[in-house]
Amino acid sequence: MRPLAALALLACGCGSSGGDGGGSSDLAVVPDFAGATATWQPRAAMPAARQETAVAALDGKVYVLGGFDGTQTIVATVEAWDPATDRWSTMPPLPAPLHHANVATVAGKLYVVGAIKGASFTAIGDSWSFDPAANAWSPRAPMPAGSERGAAMIGVVDHKIYVAGGYRGGAVADFSVYDADADSWSALPALPSVRDHGVGALVGGRFYAIGGRDSTPAAHVARVDAFDLVAGSWSAKTPLPTSRGGAAAGVLDGQIIVAGGEGNAGSPRGVFAAVERYDPAADQWSALPPMRTPRHGTGGAVVGRLFVVPGGADVQLYGAVDVVETITF
- What whole-number distance in Å separates Cα of residue 119 and Cα of residue 72? 9
Q: Residue 31: its pLDDT value, please?
A: 47
The Cα 42–Cα 34 span in angstroms is 21
* Residue 29 reports pLDDT greater than 70: no
Q: What is the model's pLDDT at position 38?
A: 77
DSSP label of 313: B
pTM score: 0.91
pLDDT for the residue numbered 2:
30
- How confident is residue 26, by pLDDT bands cut at 50, 70 and 90? very low
Contact 208, 237 (CB under 8 A): yes
Among candidate residues 87, 104, 99, 156, the one with its CA nearest the CA of residue 124: 99
271 pLDDT above the threshold of 90: yes
44-55 pLDDT, tens digit each: 999 999 999 999
Distance between CA atoms of residues 177 and 198, nearest Å: 17
**Topology (CATH level 3) of domain 4-328:** Neuraminidase (2.120.10)
pLDDT, one tens digit per residue, over 74-107 is 999 999 999 999 999 999 999 999 999 999 999 9
Using alpha carbons only, how large is the chain's radius of gyration in Å?
18
Closest CA to 250 of 307, 181, 198: 307
- The pLDDT tens digits for 205-259 are 999 999 999 999 999 999 999 999 999 999 999 999 999 999 999 999 999 999 9
